[in-house]
Structure 1
């Protein structure tokens, strides 16, 4: 075959100037040519490189649209047609209908290939037809694509292609596809089509009926039925159904979900129970009532089949004490060895910490997950296990051989012992032994656990550590001396050095702020350590400037330098993406009180961004309350909270504004934050969403009662 027409004009394109996920797209022509390689392995590698560069994790780029015509030529000529059509579908999915950006250009480029896509829907292998259906639907060109797909649905015999057609129609026209979907969920059809029909019914907003319920249960396990589908968003059907029904936020749909999960969790098929567990996790992350509704069926399923404990560990961690009935079964698994025992003990820490404590000391060094959970997890939460002499002895044994400590062990032990305070004093010698190899965590722990009669000896040990070693270790030891003895000398010396060498300015400034006026001698060094306005500054520079501003204010009580630094940070309007830096700057501005008035114009600009609004309102309310329209500000704060944009600070700011800021609508919205079923917290580390939102719900209720608004207050 003459390949020249396929690549006509390819080298005339300025590929080196186009951008993809990894920068210059100069490599795209070679990848396109490699797709016609007779060596399938070489062609497959080229396809993988294109997915990584021009469609990276679903994102499209400038070079992507320019590659589309060549991909279409290759598909038309029969080179890896199904694979290339699937790539075109992904590009269309990552595109956009409107605008002038790369996304819109990509969607237009694929839409221009609809003659090829629609012709391929009617011909070729089943794999080609499936890919063509997917790509055509992803263009969003409903009026052109829908008639072709409906016609093909009536004649297509291959179940997977029919399922793809039904999914494509549901994507283009959910309500208009309800009739086809309703007719395809019956027990006589192939499973691939039935599950696609169920998902289409959900997308169409159809009420969840007994027929839907029975069909979903009959199809479990359902993941294998969609494994070959192009639609990755719905690759876990039960989880998708549960999530979408809960997001409807009606009592009827919630009841339907929990009846479905109850039945699925009790299934005789292990694979079905596994899918039900995953779906129940999603339910708990979406619905506040889900943990209570899921705990009973889960406990019943586990108690009936103890082997199900291993499958349920992730969900049990989310349920916490609600799953106390399962604690004995968890403990049985946790008493074993290996990774499963470690994960079971990790879950037991959440479900019944008092039962987990006696199991932790055995083989402590080989239970990293359980130890992490006991010490508060990844995000620095407080330890959850009570003081236990046996656990203390096990920790001491590990600290006595500091060279054997692995990974996060030193930090975990330091956090745990610090939470126990003086009760952990017997570990002082062991902490001293570990101080040499792990100075940062051990210094903090020494200060936290040291009783009054050991302060002199422990202080001497820490002073020696503050005189030698790497900068971060010396700083930790010097801060511990200050915390333990209120002797600021070692800390002042270390901070003076670190501010001068510029390596850890933010940490040094934060420590100086803790000293307050005692750090007066550091003021010149703090001023000198600030970044230079107009220079090429990045987030660490700006974060350090915020810390320096706070330190100078707390040390000197004068606002001039703090104002200059904060204005420099808040004025970085071209860096709106720095997000949390602005929040920190606004919080420091609030501490200046009336003297922060020069910052009012910059703070007012922050009111337009939901993440910045709460801290900006707090600052303006403190600095210049007369400049705030409190009712408008309350509305903005509620917008932030409802959008999960620093919701905790938004509630703090609402409380500061007081009851006069609330209209009836504000009170209704605040009540919803405290009492609605849908979680407010929907982002972040999956394992923390439930706990974070539970705390937020409690905070919203407290604010509601304090402001005397809503039914929660009335019934209090």
Structure 2
């Protein structure tokens, strides 16, 4: 029979026995009752919960090591990466009983608290898991008075997450009065704050008040810390700071001083039960910036400036990590922090972190180029730091930073993005020891669509490097990509590239880009490509076609690829589509490579089908074969999160069809509900739908919402421009202006060193679109003193 506690709980109701059985009876109760529950009817992360009785018996009866392993397995199944299931609700009463018996008590209370905290519920009624945990409060609340402080701490964490304030707060208050251990006292403060933010803030103000200062507003009962808790214990101070933030208390000097006095705080945070606050300084900075006020941005700048100038390396390390988060959240904070960051480039313990941060903040780091050059121009083989122009490097003090070749390389890699013309001669001088900078020059960390400027000295260095017999893994790709981007200007390197072909066929990409630049080299290049094409990869056959215009070898190779796996089919279909009508002999092979509407969908299969549909259209100009393929892809991609990118690629392909893709409109409209997919879907609908059938104002609202969430923001700007000025209301214009001018960064997800650049690109694009739609770029809403856009006047009409 299922335990009664797993039923949905009514608001405010506490179920379960009032006192429970005696502790010595509980292990027996668990093993007696566990088989009565129909475990096969509920599931956890790995399917049926039929394995849970065995784990419960180990917890109740096994040794410490076996019990620890059982707890770990339970975390993996009933609280898998923060997700809870029907089995989580079912097992909660048994876990509480085992904990009440004193077995793995702190671990199980923490697990129960995590289950109650979760809002990521899978296959279970919303709130059912939390209700099941709350039903065990009669067994959990006594743990607030346990002898073991770790049990008391876990109990405070767990009971607060049930959200049953009336039942829990009295016990927390009573324990706060007499709790002697600082870590437990901190958890009690956090627990009170979670259930009653104003009461938590009042306790926090008292904890933050300096000795002899008047306390904040009174709370029920005495609150002086008991004997044994030192004034200003860092765990309590941190909990007080977070309690103030959670209650919306304005930042003040007491919080500022408390946080700084707790640094380095990461050792304290690493023991936190709140996984969102294991890095306290980082978490405080994020919370303040998300409040989006000028006062809070100033507070962050003051905090980080002080911490970045701290004499302890571990504090500076924490501050750099928090500063990185600040720069990803707040556009204005990047410039604000730059003066505090530059001195760290001459600090042996902090220079690496400072270089990394500067490499990730885009154009805001431009003033750091001279200091980065000083770091990058260090010659690791000598005792003199000499720049390329003969001047000695400056600003390098402390440890012998110049002997850290990797650090100099990374500094040069940042310069290669910020000021590539200044990086080129340094990269040429020491190319073999600059893999990071070479990667930047090859475009790995550069903004999309940019190319490293041509430099003759660097070309000469690349040619020498290509003759090395044993290049490190990855370097041939970087070298050839740089040459490819230079195109005809890099033609003098054709002999080295041809010699490299047998070992690194990707060199064919660069060779293809140089076609027509040096007619005298053509016979030798063609001979090298023919030799490499025999049994070589597709990239060589494509380069041979580029140089000769001959199609037989390329068509043969594409035909082979179309008979391969989904990834090969995707590559071959893309190449066939680029050929256009010349690839007509491949049409049967393209049809044969389709997976079929009823085929099991995987991401690679769906992408292959999309590539085939696009190729058929480009080759034949007939949309009739492509429409059903894309319809099938969009149907199979609907629903599961992991297929959303397949749907986006299919939508982009649908847009190419124009009005011929009109049968796909219902499928495309489904994508409008997903912020990630909506902008691309709108672009596709504009291309394929009957113009008068679209509610353009509603579509504009949809894509603006996507952009505001940082979801497909560049496509959202493209969609707004495609919709036209008549689709935008004055409120739409205001929101578009905010995207361009607000302080909070819009794009927050992506590669570590690209996310800020992506946001910079979005700002520029939003400004351009705003100017195009209004006819006056000055009408883009500039930020006011608090970082929010000023109202924009309504458009005429």
TM-score, normalised to structure 1, is 0.92
| CA distance in structure 1 between the aligned counterparts of 2:631 and 2:610, rounded to whole angstroms | 10
Q: Which of 316, 319, 323 is the equivalent residue of 2:368?
A: 323
| Conservation of the 8 A alpha-carbon contact between 1:330 and 1:348 | no
Is 2:158 the counterpart of 1:124? no
Structure 1's 158 and 10: CA in aligned 2 closer, same or farther, altered over 3 A? same
Is 2:174 the counterpart of 1:151? yes
Could you say what secondary structure the match of 2:292 adopts? coil
| CA distance in structure 1 between the aligned counterparts of 2:548 and 2:261, rounded to whole angstroms | 69
Structure 1's 134 and 379: CA in aligned 2 closer, same or farther, altered over 3 A? farther
Is 2:527 the counterpart of 1:460? yes
Could you say what secondary structure the match of 1:487 adopts? coil
| Conservation of the 8 A alpha-carbon contact between 1:31 and 1:46 | yes
1:103-135 CA deviation, whole Å, 9 max, x = no partner?
733322221211122111123211110000011
Per the TM alignment, residue 626 of structure 1 is displaced from its structure 2 partner at its CA by: 1.5
Per the TM alignment, residue 704 of structure 1 is displaced from its structure 2 partner at its CA by: 0.5
Per the TM alignment, residue 680 of structure 1 is displaced from its structure 2 partner at its CA by: 1.0
The residue that corresponds to 2:328 in the other structure is 285
Instruction: Say which structure is richer in helix.
Output: 1
| CA distance in structure 2 between the aligned counterparts of 1:26 and 1:389, rounded to whole angstroms | 69
Could you say what secondary structure the match of 1:157 adopts? coil
Structure 1's 587 and 328: CA in aligned 2 closer, same or farther, altered over 3 A? closer
Q: Which of 177, 194, 215 is the equivalent residue of 2:200?
A: 177
More contact order relative to length (CA 8 Å, sep ≥ 6)? 2
The residue that corresponds to 1:477 in the other structure is 540
1:533-564 CA deviation, whole Å, 9 max, x = no partner?
12323222222222111111111111211122
Q: Which of 467, 483, 492 is the equivalent residue of 1:426?
A: 492
| CA distance in structure 2 between the aligned counterparts of 1:679 and 1:714, rounded to whole angstroms | 17
The residue that corresponds to 2:483 in the other structure is 417
- Greater shift after overlay, 515-524 or 487-496? 487-496
**Aligned 1:72-471 pairs, distance under 5 A:** 72-95=96-119, 101=124, 104-187=127-210, 188-302=231-345, 305=347, 307-319=349-361, 320-331=365-376, 332=378, 335-337=402-404, 339-350=406-417, 352-360=419-427, 364=431, 367-377=434-444, 381=448, 385-401=452-468, 404-439=470-505, 441-450=506-515, 451-453=517-519, 454-469=521-536
| CA distance in structure 1 between the aligned counterparts of 2:280 and 2:265, rounded to whole angstroms | 6
Could you say what secondary structure the match of 1:184 adopts? helix
Which structure 2 segments of 5+ residues have no match? 1-23, 211-230, 379-399, 783-797
Structure 1's 613 and 12: CA in aligned 2 closer, same or farther, altered over 3 A? same
Structure 1's 18 and 376: CA in aligned 2 closer, same or farther, altered over 3 A? farther
| CA distance in structure 1 between the aligned counterparts of 2:465 and 2:65, rounded to whole angstroms | 51
Is 2:507 the counterpart of 1:507? no
| Conservation of the 8 A alpha-carbon contact between 1:186 and 1:194 | no
Could you say what secondary structure the match of 1:57 adopts? coil
CA-based RMSD of the aligned residues comes to 2.8
The residue that corresponds to 2:730 in the other structure is 664
| CA distance in structure 1 between the aligned counterparts of 2:186 and 2:705, rounded to whole angstroms | 40
Could you say what secondary structure the match of 2:744 adopts? coil
Structure 1's 628 and 45: CA in aligned 2 closer, same or farther, altered over 3 A? same
| CA distance in structure 1 between the aligned counterparts of 2:507 and 2:606, rounded to whole angstroms | 30
Is 2:73 the counterpart of 1:49? yes
| CA distance in structure 1 between the aligned counterparts of 2:409 and 2:45, rounded to whole angstroms | 39
Per the TM alignment, residue 662 of structure 1 is displaced from its structure 2 partner at its CA by: 0.8
Per the TM alignment, residue 197 of structure 1 is displaced from its structure 2 partner at its CA by: 0.3
Per the TM alignment, residue 193 of structure 1 is displaced from its structure 2 partner at its CA by: 0.6
| CA distance in structure 1 between the aligned counterparts of 2:94 and 2:142, rounded to whole angstroms | 18
**Count of aligned residue pairs for this structure pair:** 708
Is 2:521 the counterpart of 1:497? no
Structure 1's 226 and 592: CA in aligned 2 closer, same or farther, altered over 3 A? closer
Which structure 1 segments of 5+ residues have no match? none
Q: Which of 639, 644, 648 is the equivalent residue of 2:710?
A: 644
| CA distance in structure 2 between the aligned counterparts of 1:655 and 1:594, rounded to whole angstroms | 20
Per the TM alignment, residue 352 of structure 1 is displaced from its structure 2 partner at its CA by: 4.8
- Greater shift after overlay, 427-436 or 678-687? 427-436
